[in-house]
Amino acid sequence: MKIMKNNTLLFASPITNDKNTSWSLNSIQLPDALEDRGYNNPLINSTIPYINEIVRQATNTLNITFIDAIEAVVLSNASNASITVYKITDNNINIRQKILSTMKDFVSISPDGKTIIISLINSALNQYNEEYYVQMDNNFVKRAMYVQPLKGIANGIWRFKSDDLVYKAKSSETATTCLVLLTVDGSHNFTSKTNRTAYFDNLLNELAFKVPVRRERLSSDYKFQNFNDSGQILISISIDLPINENENTVLSDLNNMIKYKNITTFFSGTTNDLDEKFGFQVKEGLWDKFKPQIIAAIAIFIIYIIFYILSYKLYSKKYEAIGSAILRLGLIISNFIFSILFIVYNSTDKPEFHLYILSVILLSVSLLINFCIAIYTVYNRINDPVVGKDFKDLVNRNKGLVTVFTILAVTDYEYLIILKDVPRFKVAIDYKYLTIRKDVPKSNKDTSESNKNTSNLIKIRLNLIKKCLNIIEMFLVLTKKKLIMSI
């Protein structure tokens, strides 16, 4: 005896009209005790969205409400009972999100115990004018009073469609370069590959299929870099401009599907190598990443220009010395900091080249050389028969400052040039030159001295420009976050 899905009672009977058989199979149509509302499950009263409803692409919850005869339901502890959202495209069925009954972050029960509330990630219904359906396994929920497993919803019954919008790409939208991080296991899998180009292609193909997005929009330079001491690999992926509304949420879709890969199709294949904690991050530009440093550099340069103009207008060696000191300090301090940062964060990008050890050795040697130059220069200056007395007086008057700059000279001997200009900082400014500089004729001696000073000034400027270029070069290396990009 069995009750069929069409509410028919099927049973065996010993009564038969055929003398050659000992039993017969009979059926009785039972009265409709419960009305089936289209879900092939009379225990379900309604759903949100209802069957064949047009829904917004931004829909992020689904509801299943049971009839009043079911006093309350509870989630099953079965590890394999799930609710799955599918998308139907050109007769192909793709999983958009799969939620187990044990995932309390994505499924809950209403206070009255009659409604299941399912949370969807933003990428679940991510395309317009597409058809979706939801399937619920038997035993996903149980009747609370009797702990009785309840029937679910079969494939293809609970269908709905996303709304249809026409979209044109905004002119302000630009192509974007983003970063993804491989897990530790994924990184080991990647580095063990002999054909890494094929790995990149497989990854891009899977991303294009699973999001989905046109494959032509995704590209990579096939280069990678080490991210941390655990050996995780960081790779970049470029995304071209969208051409319709279905392609306008690719960035957020990729980020969501990676972060929640355990409930999307990203849990299998090459996409399972992607680190869910890192997600899909937009690569920062120089301004976004180094905004404070750039502002500080511009401020130092402006201050230097101001002092340079003042020294020119006032014939003031004091302003010239102060301006030169500010620029030198800004350059040599940033140069030393960038060198240290390079050793700490970038010299381990390629462990096989032992760059960390080489970088430490080179820095140590340069510090030792600078120390020797500083000690020799100070000692030689003190014993100079011409300027020795004046230099001793300078040291005695500025013992603390001389000590500090001598120590700093270990990092860069340019500090000694600033120390040399210290007496100029206390020179009084003769403001009369503001009015008479063009009226006082210069002697040949003054002209010769002026030419000599100009020549020295040019040399100083060239030296500073050279150091600026070194700083810029180091700055650009750091922004790449790596020393050598592997091909």
Provide the H-helix boundaries in 92-234.
184-191, 196-210
Instruction: Look at residue 278 in the predicted model and tell me its pLDDT.
Output: 94
Main-chain dihedrals φ then ψ at residue 321, nearest 5 degrees: -65, -40
Q: Give the pLDDT of residue 311.
A: 57
Which of 79, 88, 73 minimizes the C-alpha distance to 151? 73
3-state helix, strand, coil in the chain (%, to 5): 45, 20, 35
Tokens representing 219 are: 């590209």
Q: What is the pLDDT along the chain (487 residues), one digit of tens a residue?
A: 566 766 676 767 676 666 666 677 777 765 556 678 899 998 999 999 999 999 988 889 999 999 887 778 889 888 789 999 999 876 677 899 999 999 999 999 999 999 999 999 989 988 888 899 999 999 999 988 888 899 999 999 999 999 876 544 443 446 788 999 999 999 999 999 989 999 999 999 999 999 988 899 999 999 888 888 788 999 999 998 887 666 667 888 999 999 999 999 999 999 999 999 999 998 876 666 667 777 877 877 787 677 666 655 555 566 666 666 766 776 777 777 777 877 777 776 666 567 778 888 888 888 888 888 777 777 777 777 665 677 677 677 777 777 777 777 777 766 666 666 655 545 443 433 333 333 344 455 444 554 555 555 555 555 555 555 555 555 555 544 443 333 3
- Return the domain boundaries, the chain: 1-33, 44-162, 176-283, 288-437+446-479
Question: What is residue 249's three-state secondary structure?
Answer: coil
* Residues 118, 99: Cα–Cα separation, whole Å: 8
Q: Which residues pair with residue 237 across a beta bridge?
A: 178
- Interaxial angle between packed helices 399-408 and 355-382, expressed in degrees from 0 to 180 and rounded to the nearest 10: 150
The pLDDT of residue 436: 31
pLDDT at position 435 is 33
Predicted pLDDT of residue 428 = 44
Contact (Cβ atoms closer than 8 angstroms) between residue 226 and residue 349: yes
Query: In the block, which residue shows the tokens 């922004």?
Result: 479
Please return the burial class of 263, using the count of CB atoms within 10 Å of its CB with bins 0-12, 13-18 and 19+. Answer: buried
Angle at CA 233, nearest 5°, toward 228 and 238?
125
Which tokens in the block code for residue 424? 């100029």
DSSP-based three-state secondary structure for 354: coil
pLDDT at position 20 is 67
Please tell me the total number of residues recorded for the chain in this structure. 487
- Going through 38-181 in order, the beta strands assigned E by DSSP cover 44-48, 53-55, 61-66, 73-75, 82-89, 92-100, 107-109, 115-119, 131-136, 141-143, 148-149, 153-162, 176-181
Q: State the pLDDT at residue 318.
A: 63
Using CB atoms within 10 Å of the CB of residue 270, give its burial: 0 to 12 exposed, 13 to 18 middle, 19+ buried. buried
CATH of domain 44-162: 2.60.40
Angstrom distance (rounded) from CA 413 to CA 372: 10
Chain-centroid distance of CA 128 in Å reads 27
Amino acid identity of residue 46, one-letter, is S
Per-residue CA distances from 266 to 22, 212, 273, 297, 431 (Å): 58, 12, 9, 44, 74
**Residue 68 identity:** D
What was the pLDDT predicted at 487? 35
Sign of CA dihedral 258, 263, 264, 268: positive
Q: SS3 of 103, please?
A: coil
